[in-house]
Amino acid sequence: MSDLVSVGLLTRVFPPDLVDEVIAGVGRTEQRNRSLPARVMAYFAIGMALYSDGTYEDVLAQLTDGLSWSSRWSMSWSAPSKSAIFQARARLGAEPLRELFARVARPLAAADAPGAWLAGRRLVAIDGTCLDVADTVESASFFGRPGVNKGEQAAFPQARVVALAECGTHAIFDAVVGPYTTSETELSRELVARLEPGMLLLADRGVYGYRLWQQACLTGADLLWRVNSVLKPRHVETFDDGSWLAEIKPGGNAGRTAVPLRVRVVDYTIDDGRGESEPYRLLTTILDPNEASATELAVTYAQRWEIESAFDELKTHQRGPRTVLRSKSPELVLQEIWGHLCCHYAIRTLMWEAAARNNTDPDRVSFVAALRIARRSVAPTGRFPPLTTLTPPTPPGIGPSSDSSDVSTPSGEDDRTPTGHLPVGRTGDYDA
């Protein structure tokens, strides 16, 4: 069956040969022939994100739809049961999806892409979000749950995701997933270690800490982080553009012996038009005002919000009305989250292709429209499944998708079902 699954866009971004290689690399290749082999289940895990409202049977039907058009497909094949699909998911686990995302996901923007660069540096942002998971004893023990008022706890356990996203394309290209009980700062340490020279990392004030800043600097990437105005770097020199050179040290006893780090400080306020203004203080490793002025840095920092938009795309539109992940065990919860990240990256790849083909800012391409097209790409085509696929996208560009021209710019974000494409099916039930 693994040679007969047609998944359109998904096989373009995650080619079957790569999926097989990843599965073999983590030791999940099946020892005997199965009706639901590991390759199929890897695509199924991503398909669950693409069709988040569908049951197991609905999702598998979408992935295998159109096979009866081929004379080489056995008409006597019967769909696996929900229990069989669950067992196949459990055999696969989360690691293949995590590794598949790591192998494929990368920044997409070309060198001339709008909103993606400053002073030759690629704009990326770091932030975290939480996802509700099914309230089972095992998941509650593994993930933990946030507290609420008066010492009570939230209704659902939560998983925490910290991610890096490219500001110009909204492509989430790296992530760490963990329990709610692990802090965002702790997960961020693993993530910033994978930064690369040529990146400019934007971060909100909740991220800053001397140790994390120092760790990020050691990667060779540049930083532009907002910090609390109460932070008092030691003044060294004031520049003509109003920014100033300073030194920072960790607080407490550690600061007495620590080597100070040089930073540039940009202070400004934003008038909201209602007579109120909020002070901003930015720290950056771009020390030369001739490379980026204080005004350019302040304007660039606003791009940090693009990662918030990426999270909204994943949690609101892609996941849809299902606010709680369907999986009930920690391992399958992790698999489901990595499936969502893979799916979002595939959709964002389609959007980037459409924008590049039409010389348009990716921000002007509708995520809802791209999501519809991605779902439509899985529908019957009348052809044998496309196992000859493109390689994963490598900047600055790959060939345009056959569907790319159909992605429209936002005009009300109409989310109605496109003509000729049926809804997924039943909703509202949790899968095992």
Tens-place pLDDT, residues 139-187: 999 999 998 777 778 889 999 999 999 999 999 999 999 999 999 999 9
- Judge contact between 372 and 317, C-beta under 8 A: no
> What is the predicted pLDDT for the residue at 321?
66
DSSP states of 342-369 = HHHHHHHHHHHHHHHHTT--GGGS-HHH
How many of the other CB atoms lie within 10 Å of CB of 415?
12
> What is the predicted pLDDT for the residue at 70?
33
258 pLDDT tier (thresholds 50, 70, 90): confident
Task: For residue 314, give the DSSP letter.
Answer: I
Instruction: Tell me: pLDDT of 415 over 70.
Output: no
330-347: average pLDDT? 97
Element of type H or E holding 162: strand 158-166
Name the residue type at position 400: P
> Per the structure block, which two tokens stand in for 109?
């923007």
CA proximity to 186, closest of 194, 177, 195: 177
> Phi, psi at residue 238, to the nearest 5°?
-105, 135
> What is the predicted pLDDT for the residue at 291?
97
Cβ burial, residue 253 (10 Å; 0-12/13-18/19+): exposed
> What is the predicted pLDDT for the residue at 378?
62
> Per the structure block, which two tokens stand in for 15?
């080619």
How many of the other CB atoms lie within 10 Å of CB of 302?
12
Instruction: Tell me: pLDDT of 3 over 80.
Output: no
C-alpha gyration radius of the chain:
23
Residue 239 CA to residue 265 CA, distance in Å, equals: 10
380-402: average pLDDT? 41
> What is the predicted pLDDT for the residue at 108?
96
Quick: pLDDT tens for 13-50.
Answer: 999 999 999 999 999 987 766 778 899 999 999 999 99
200 pLDDT tier (thresholds 50, 70, 90): very high
pTM for the model: 0.84
Residue 17 CA to residue 23 CA, distance in Å, equals: 10
Instruction: Tell me: pLDDT of 408 over 50.
Output: no
Quick: pLDDT tens for 88-106.
Answer: 999 999 999 999 999 999 9
Q: Which residues are registered as beta bridge partners of 225?
A: 203, 283
Residue 187 CA to residue 162 CA, distance in Å, equals: 7
> Per the structure block, which two tokens stand in for 183?
């802090």
> Phi, psi at residue 156, to the nearest 5°?
-130, 145
Q: Which residue has the higher pLDDT, 301 or 112?
A: 301
Cis peptide preceding 179, ω within 30 of 0: no
> Per the structure block, which two tokens stand in for 408?
């429209």
* CA dist 216 → 88, 100, 220, 224, 271 (Å): 39, 25, 8, 11, 31
Q: CA 110, 174, 164 angle in degrees (round to 5)?
A: 75
Find the distance separating the first CA and the last CA of the chain, reported in whole Å.
23
- Judge contact between 58 and 322, C-beta under 8 A: no
Query: CA 70: distance to chain centroid?
Result: 35
9 pLDDT tier (thresholds 50, 70, 90): confident
Cβ burial, residue 40 (10 Å; 0-12/13-18/19+): buried
61 pLDDT tier (thresholds 50, 70, 90): confident
Maximum Cα interatomic distance, the chain, rounded to a whole number of Å: 78
> What is the predicted pLDDT for the residue at 297?
98
